[in-house]
Amino acid sequence: MSNQLYALAEQLGQAIRTSSDFQQLKQAYEAVRRDETAYRIFTNFRDLQMRLHEKQMTGAEILPEEVEQAQKAMTLAQQNEKLAQLMALEQRMSMVMADVQQIAMKPLEELYRSFTE
Amino acid sequence: MSNQLYALAEQLGQAIRTSSDFQQLKQAYEAVRRDETAYRIFTNFRDLQMRLHEKQMTGAEILPEEVEQAQKAMTLAQQNEKLAQLMALEQRMSMVMADVQQIAMKPLEELYRSFTE
Ligand SMILES: [Ca+2]
Ligand SMILES: [Ca+2]
């Protein structure tokens, strides 16, 4: 059984939830949520991104206009103070999460590496 | 600072390393490593898979012969007892890791979900 692993994962989740990175990210989300303009720019940007991602995954053709549209939506988002703040905090959070994952997965990585050497 | 997160990630890594799932996986790798036939089938299979994966990533054409070759290599691997054992243990480990990740990432998932509702 892996009960100890799950208990530690639970603790890690709680530590993430109470971290200042997470709390700041949550506040940034709430600030965007309360701001109609910021929220509309955000949902538009996300919808465009998801459509492009889906096309990439299914190998469908991506039109130059669509790339341009997505770039414009990104620029609009970056020019919005609340969204710029949210994206900066999201990036910081994903860097922390990548570090956390790398540390936790080190034993497996070492095992694979030693095997393929 | 996220020192607490990193300390917990370190603990999780140690718990993974000492788990029976990991120890069994390690033994299965060592058994394959010691068996020339099994190891040759494994490296051949992995090389084919990596080549196909690279082609998929770069959008290069995958020939029917290559798909067939990969399927044959997979069948060969499954017929080898040590490799079948290794693959079963790898699958179990990746299911445990997926659970662990899902538990630890729950706060972020909830944050995103509440935002997009
Ligand atoms: Ca406004
Ligand atoms: Ca042999």
Residue-wise pLDDT tens digits, A45-98: 999 999 999 998 888 888 999 999 999 999 999 999 999 999 999 999 999 999
Tell me the CA–centroid distance for residue B24 and ligand 2, in Å.
20
- For the stretch B13-59, pLDDT in tens is 999 999 999 999 999 999 999 999 999 999 999 999 999 999 988 88
What's A47's domain CATH number? Answer: 1.20.1500.10
The residue of chain A with its CA nearest to that of B105 is A13
Contact list, B12 vs chain A (CB under 8 Å): 5, 8-9, 12, 103-104
| pLDDT attached to residue B1 | 46
Inter-chain CB proximity A107 and B2 less than 8 Å: no
Query: Helices marked H in chain A — which ranges?
Result: 3-18, 20-34, 36-58, 64-79, 81-104, 106-116
* Overall number of domains in chain B: 1
Domain that holds residue B12: 3-116
| pLDDT attached to residue A31 | 97
3-state class (DSSP) for residue B117: coil
- For the stretch B60-96, pLDDT in tens is 888 999 999 999 999 999 999 999 999 999 999 999 9
Q: Pick the closest to residue B111 from A42, A100, A25 (CA basis).
A: A25
| Among the partner residues A6, A15, A22, nearest to B99 by beta-carbon distance | A6
Inter-chain CB proximity B108 and A93 less than 8 Å: yes
What is d(CA B66, CA B75) in angstroms, rounded to the nearest whole number? 14
What is d(CA A66, CA B66) in angstroms, rounded to the nearest whole number? 33
Confidence of residue A18 (pLDDT cuts 50, 70, 90): very high
Residue B3's Cα: distance from chain center in Å?
A: 28
Token pair listed for A73: 């939506």
What is d(CA A97, CA A91) in angstroms, rounded to the nearest whole number? 10
Contact list, A11 vs chain B (CB under 8 Å): 8
Burial class of B86 by CB neighbour count within 10 A (0 to 12, 13 to 18, 19+)? buried
Contact list, B111 vs chain A (CB under 8 Å): 22, 25-26, 29
Tell me, what's the ipTM? 0.83
